[in-house]
Amino acid sequence: MGLRVGVDVGGTFTDFLVVDDQGNAQIYKTSTTPRDPSLGFFRGLDKAARHRGLSLDELLGQVDTVVHGTTITTNAALTGDGAVTGFITTNGFRDLLNMRRGLKDRQFDRYAPPLPLVPRRRIRVVGERVLASGEVLVPLNEADVRAAATFFREQQVEAVAVSLLWSFRNPAHETRIREILEQELPGIYVSLSTEILPQIRVYERHSTTALNAYVGPVLTRYLRRLQEELERRRYSGALLIMQSNGGVMSPQLAERFASNTLLSGPAGAPMAGIFYGGTHGFRNLITIDMGGTSFDVALIRDAEPAVTTEGGLGGHRIATPILDIHSIGAGGGSIAWIDSGGMLDVGPKSAGAEPGPACYGRGGTQPTVTDAQYILGYLDPALFEQGELDFDAAAAARVIQERIAGPLGMDVVSAAAGVYEIINNKMAAALGVVSVQRGYDPREFVLVVAGGAGPIHAAPIARELGIPLILIPRASSVFCAAGMLISDLKHDYVRTCAREFDRIDLGEVAALYREMAAEARTTLLTERVPPARIELRRSADLRYVGQFNEVEVSVPGDGEVDSATLAQMAAAFHQRHDALYGYSMSGAPVELINLRLTGIGRVDQPHQERYALGPADASAARRGNRRAWFDGGFVEAPVYDGLALVPGHHVAGPAIVVQPTTTVVVPPDFELLCDEFRNYLMYPRGRNPDELCRALR
């Protein structure tokens, strides 16, 4: 087995993680090159190659898998820089896509409506109508389709999305429209809703399909360029693309299902959490990832990340399954401000990377979380200097004094401590959303922390929720790239089968599962997954008859559903409904809405070298003291060099552990242990880490 490389393109930096078959990992970072991200891609690989004394081509000769997380589709959708897209839908229903179900997010704010993904002139209606039964009420008017094609040609349309009413009940019209478009507009990118999301709810289907067409050509062009360059350098390994559902896919599939990459940016973190948690046998985890502008939280139960179909981007809905990552506007750049009533708040506005926090010395005039961290003594200015920043300590104090401390009549340090406390509380509340609000007790979970600044806040967040153990991987700052390397190939399928439970046709359900299973197997085989590594999982969306929202439950067995399976599903549904919403109605009629199947192709997990635990005394890693704020006052807190901490080393709070890209704050009521994988465990003072680990397994 050769090298495996994870490449995660972020807004500012592209992260690289190169892992050998012994599990030794190197981290590299390059600046992201937004105009053509493949430049940064190869520059980073070149850096890794030179570090090993190799040429880029020589390095590629040793690599057998590159996993790539790209935000090229995300950026295109957010900036309106996608393909010139046409949209074909049912006559009489021209505007369902742009009506967006008639919602305005911030009801009391006065602001302009969002720009449409596809302007009305490029939304063309065609004569046709299928009924709920699948029966054709109005046959397809092919002349309408040809007229639309002619218009699209004039408009130089690059991609066409086709989404018709009830098409998932009878896909014939959409299929025929594709045939006509391929005749009339050879080579054009076409997305059918029956392929992207054959599922009830028309706006959700429209929007997901339109987004797929909108970003499809952009991703296709990018991936082809990347593959050509890799081929030119005689790379013979695999290239895999990260998806929003926490799985990876081949570039060929990514071209067709481009929308599956739209929310892939944060999807690596929960997968990394599963991997690092797995080293200790932990299966119930909450992962947090704190960046410059946002804070992402995900819950993992039984080593499976939570999944949702309620995603969205830039005001458009994405209804395919994605990892359920709850994101709030809370990061290092989040701005602290006082509202017109005199109350202190932090975020969601961020100073971003430019100008950034005031202490970055780039002209930032707003107090941010990073400025507060600095005032409290948690950040080491020396680290910034390596990062080519002119650290401006005075600016941090000045903006906090002017904007917060002065108006509130408090001193600068108390104001900074307030900013720290408020952001910690907001982050803790975000953890509550994925745990307590979903019916889970956070005290039964291990907190896994990512992002360079995450470990500064981890202890107060855990304390707030009663989480007993924190796991901080040493590669915390390139967490997402690490997650990509261990992600399996994963494809989701759905079929709507809306039936009350007592009217379910078991044969129909089994047939639909067989159909999805065949599709999943074929796809995974084309991605060269050996049959023995293919795994299929089935689930179903259920609700009480008459409800309008569903709860997903897993379906045991091989898809040949019988009445006993139905009873199990119903029981699981009542139980889950109760946990989620405070009540259930056993005995009340239940209805099935969607059947789901996920096809998984298992990949090899990297080896993690395990070291013996040595003595606890960490004084060899001690690097003096720093004045830092703990428990309402400044103390001289010991500072440790994280790179010098070895397995078994023990650090009691108050203390600060410093690494080039990460800072860990250990408050007085916490302790930290360097574990046998050279990662950190942090836990409340006086607790026994072995016992905690056993209890949480």
Partner 1 sequence: MNAASTIATIDPIRVSVIDNRLDAICREIGLTMLRTSRSPIFSEARDFVTGIFDRDLRLVAQTAYIPVLMGALPYAIRSIAATFADDIREGDVFILNDPYRGNNHPPDITIAKPVFWQGQIEFWSVSKGHHADVGGSGVAGYNPGARSIWEECIRIPPAKLYAAGQLNRALLDTILLNVHLPFLVEGDLHCQVGAVTIGERNLQALLGKYGPQLLQAAIGQIFAAAERQMRAVIRGLPNGEFSGARCIDHDGINKDQMITVRVTLRIEDEAITFDFSASDPQAVGYVNSTLPNTASSAFLALFMSVGSGVRCNEGSLRALRVLAPPGSIVNANEPAPVTGCTIAAAQAIIEAVWLALAEAVPEQVDACWARWCAPATMGFNPRTGRFFGDIHFMSKGGAGAAYGFDGWDHLGTVICAGGLRSPDPELHELVTPYTVLQYEFRPDSAGAGQWRGGMGTIYRWRVDADNIAAANFGGGNRPETAPFGLAGGKAAPPHELYLRKGDQIIDVDTESFYSLAAGDIFEIYQSGGGGYGDPRRRPVESVRDDVLDGLVSVERARLDYGVSIDPDTLAVDAAETAQLRHPAGGSPR
Give the whole-angstrom CA distance, residue 286 versus residue 444.
10
Return the residue of 2, 23, 80, 92 that touches partner 1, per CB under 8 A.
Answer: 92
Return the residue of 35, 110, 232, 234 that touches partner 1, per CB under 8 A.
Answer: 110
Least distance from partner 1 to the Cβ atom of residue 547, Å: 6
Return the residue of 93, 151, 337, 501 that touches partner 1, per CB under 8 A.
Answer: 93
Return the residue of 177, 181, 271, 344 that touches partner 1, per CB under 8 A.
Answer: 344
Q: Is 410 in the site for partner 1 (CB under 8 A)?
A: yes
With CB under 8 A as the contact rule, which of the stretches 99-107, 392-400, 451-459, 531-539 interacts with partner 1?
A: 99-107
Q: Where are the alpha helices (DSSP H) in 527-669?
A: 563-581
With CB under 8 A as the contact rule, which of the stretches 103-111, 229-237, 507-515, 597-605 interacts with partner 1?
A: 103-111
Return the residue of 136, 172, 238, 408 that touches partner 1, per CB under 8 A.
Answer: 408
Q: Is 340 in the site for partner 1 (CB under 8 A)?
A: yes
Name the nearest CA neighbour of 255 among 297, 203, 215, 220: 220
Return the residue of 580, 613, 644, 652 that touches partner 1, per CB under 8 A.
Answer: 580
Least distance from partner 1 to the Cβ atom of residue 479, Å: 27
Q: What is the dihedral of CA 69, 74, 75, 79, to 10 degrees?
A: 180
The angle at the Cα of 19, spanning 16 to 20, to the nearest 5 degrees, equals 150
- Number of residues counted as binding partner 1 (CB under 8 A): 62
Least distance from partner 1 to the Cβ atom of residue 551, Å: 8
C-alpha 41: how far from its chain's center? 20
Tokens read off for 650: 């023990």
Contact 642, 672 (CB under 8 A): no
Give the whole-angstrom CA distance, residue 13 versus residue 310.
28
When the beta carbons of 343 and 532 are compared against partner 1, the nearer one is 343
Q: Is 426 in the site for partner 1 (CB under 8 A)?
A: yes
Contact 446, 471 (CB under 8 A): yes
Q: Is 615 in the site for partner 1 (CB under 8 A)?
A: no
Least distance from partner 1 to the Cβ atom of residue 579, Å: 11
Contact 595, 534 (CB under 8 A): no
Burial letters 206-245, b for 16+ CB under 10 A, else e: bbbbbbbbbbbbbbbebbeebeeebeebebebbbbbbbbb
Least distance from partner 1 to the Cβ atom of residue 134, Å: 12
When the beta carbons of 167 and 212 are compared against partner 1, the nearer one is 167
Q: Is 134 in the site for partner 1 (CB under 8 A)?
A: no
Tokens read off for 601: 């192709």
Q: Is 579 in the site for partner 1 (CB under 8 A)?
A: no
Name the nearest CA neighbour of 247 among 586, 591, 603, 592: 603
Q: What does the DSSP assignment read for 369-413?
A: HHHHHHHTT-S-HHHHHHTT----HHHHHHHHIIIIIHHHT--HH
With CB under 8 A as the contact rule, which of the stretches 69-77, 263-271, 292-300, 343-351 interacts with partner 1?
A: 343-351
Q: Is 115 in the site for partner 1 (CB under 8 A)?
A: no
Which residue has 């009629």 as its token pair? 589
Beta strands in 608-669 (DSSP E): 622-630, 633-641, 650-652, 655-659, 662-666
When the beta carbons of 230 and 376 are compared against partner 1, the nearer one is 376
Q: Is 519 in the site for partner 1 (CB under 8 A)?
A: no
Q: Is 342 in the site for partner 1 (CB under 8 A)?
A: yes
* Contact residues for 124 (Cβ-Cβ < 8 A; gap 6+): 86, 87, 88, 89, 144, 147, 148, 151, 152
Least distance from partner 1 to the Cβ atom of residue 587, Å: 12
Residues that bind partner 1 (CB under 8 A): 92-96, 98-99, 101-104, 107-113, 119-121, 131-132, 137, 165-166, 200-204, 339-345, 408, 410, 417-418, 421-422, 425-426, 429, 432, 437, 498, 544, 546-549, 577, 580-583, 585, 588
